[in-house]
Amino acid sequence: MTGTNAPLRVAMIGYAFMGRAHSQAWHTAPRFFDLARRPETAVLVGRSSASVTEAAHRLGWAEAATDWREVVARDDIDLVDICTPGDTHAEIAIAALAAGKHVLVEKPMANTLAEAESMAAAARAAAAARVRAMVGFTYRRVPAVRLARELVAEGRIGEVRQVRAQYLQDWLADAEAPLSWRLDKEKAGSGALGDIGAHIVDLTHFITGETVTGVSGTLDTFVNERPVAESFSGLHGSGGTERGPVTVDDAAVFFGRLTGGAPAVFEASRVAWGRKNAMRIEISGSLGSLAFDFEEMNVLHLFDATEESRTAGFRRILVTEPDHPYIEHWWPAGHGLGYEHGFTHQVVDLVTAIADGTQPEPSFDDGLAVQRVLDAVERSAANHSTYTPLGD
């Protein structure tokens, strides 16, 4: 359905951890923000009829369906939200764009560079008909992250000299943590590299406005076999006695060089005991530094080297003021936001771009830029960490 104020009817495919996060966002966004088009949570799609029907009821979707191809072709669907494992992203996204549906796809955009290239080409072709495609790098929508980007663009830390970015989790640190699709290369493409390393590459691109041009990296798997899961919820599950192989990396460590010449050091790990969702970035510039840690997501640290040295120091900015990005729609200063708000802001920005007829970001070309880095890290790691320029 088209027309400036027409509702935006959404079909979402997949309803596990990310599907739950997206569901709440589709419901919450129009309640807290004025959206030019009101999202309608029309159809939830999954493989098992009984499970998807129960999930649709629980998560607030009007209908449940089991055949995504049928749903994507329906005239009464405007947008397809893809929350499935990476091995299906390309096929669904390309089919949806060809059917004239806007697409939101979870990160990483694809499992391979070739898939990501096809998706980006499909998105470029669809844009001519004002059909929009966006990748779900939600951390771009954390107010403190957005503030960091603004400060870099304003020149507050001068020229970017060095970036150090980490994404540390520990849900696989226990060798008995069971297998899931996220540990299967066929389904997930890679492990920590694509799952969370993708976020810090995108974050670096977003905050600095530059991109990685080449990398040298290593990938390590510390636990090669794990129990097969008997039950699962979110990232955690329990396994039985049967065991199966882990086919992805537990940790990815890589060095990259940005377009402006700055070196950037990246570390992604799902086995870093004690770190739950420590997505951190620190940028050292010629006039100061910025530091962010998602475990304290309402805070941005700024060191301004132009201040007199006797009193200079990292300033802890509580990013909860009404003039901070997104905040005026939420709570009074100091009341803070959480993980789910990034997803809500993602819906707001996507719906606004669709209604305005503009390209939402991160575009599939932005997703492709990240995918090129992931691909180069894999090639470098396979080649004894040789410095590897990105593929075209």
Window 158 to 197, contacts with ligand SOE (CB under 6 A):
169, 195-196
Q: How many alpha carbons lie under 13 Å from residue 173 in its C-beta half-sphere?
A: 11
| 32 interacts with ligand SOE by CB under 6 A | no
Residues with Cβ within 8 Å of residue 286, at least 6 apart in sequence: 157, 158, 159, 161
In angstroms, how far is the first alpha carbon of the chain from the final one? Answer: 37
Q: How far is the CB of 363 from ligand SOE (least distance, A)?
A: 18
Window 303 to 342, contacts with ligand SOE (CB under 6 A):
none
Q: How far is the CB of 264 from ligand SOE (least distance, A)?
A: 20
**DSSP-based three-state secondary structure for 102:** strand
* Residues 165 and 200 sit within 8 Å (Cβ to Cβ): yes
| 17 interacts with ligand SOE by CB under 6 A | yes
- Tabulate helix, strand, coil % of the chain (nearest 5): 35, 25, 35
Q: Which of residues 84 and 216 has its CB atom nearest to ligand SOE in the complex?
A: 84
| 78 interacts with ligand SOE by CB under 6 A | no
Helices (H), the chain: 17-32, 49-59, 68-72, 89-98, 113-127, 143-153, 185-188, 192, 198-208, 339-356, 364-382
Q: How far is the CB of 249 from ligand SOE (least distance, A)?
A: 12
Q: How many alpha carbons lie under 13 Å from residue 229 in its C-beta half-sphere?
A: 16
Q: Which of residues 106 and 115 has its CB atom nearest to ligand SOE in the complex?
A: 106
Q: How far is the CB of 202 from ligand SOE (least distance, A)?
A: 11
Window 218 to 257, contacts with ligand SOE (CB under 6 A):
235
d(CA 299, CA 315): 10
Binding string to ligand SOE for residues 367 to 386, with x set by CB under 6 A, is what? --------------------
Q: How far is the CB of 334 from ligand SOE (least distance, A)?
A: 25
Q: Quote the crossing angle between the two packed helices 89-98 and 113-127, to the nearest 10°.
A: 10
Q: Which of residues 203 and 319 has its CB atom nearest to ligand SOE in the complex?
A: 203
| 344 interacts with ligand SOE by CB under 6 A | no
State the number of binding residues for ligand SOE (CB under 6 A). 5
d(CA 223, CA 233): 21
**DSSP-based three-state secondary structure for 300:** strand
Q: Which of residues 136 and 227 has its CB atom nearest to ligand SOE in the complex?
A: 136
In angstroms and rounded to an integer, the radius of gyration of the C-alpha atoms of the chain is 21
Q: How far is the CB of 192 from ligand SOE (least distance, A)?
A: 8
* Residue whose C-beta lies closest to ligand SOE: 195
Q: Which of residues 42 and 347 has its CB atom nearest to ligand SOE in the complex?
A: 347
Using CB under 6 A as the criterion, which residues of the chain lie in contact with ligand SOE when the complex forms?
Answer: 17, 169, 195-196, 235
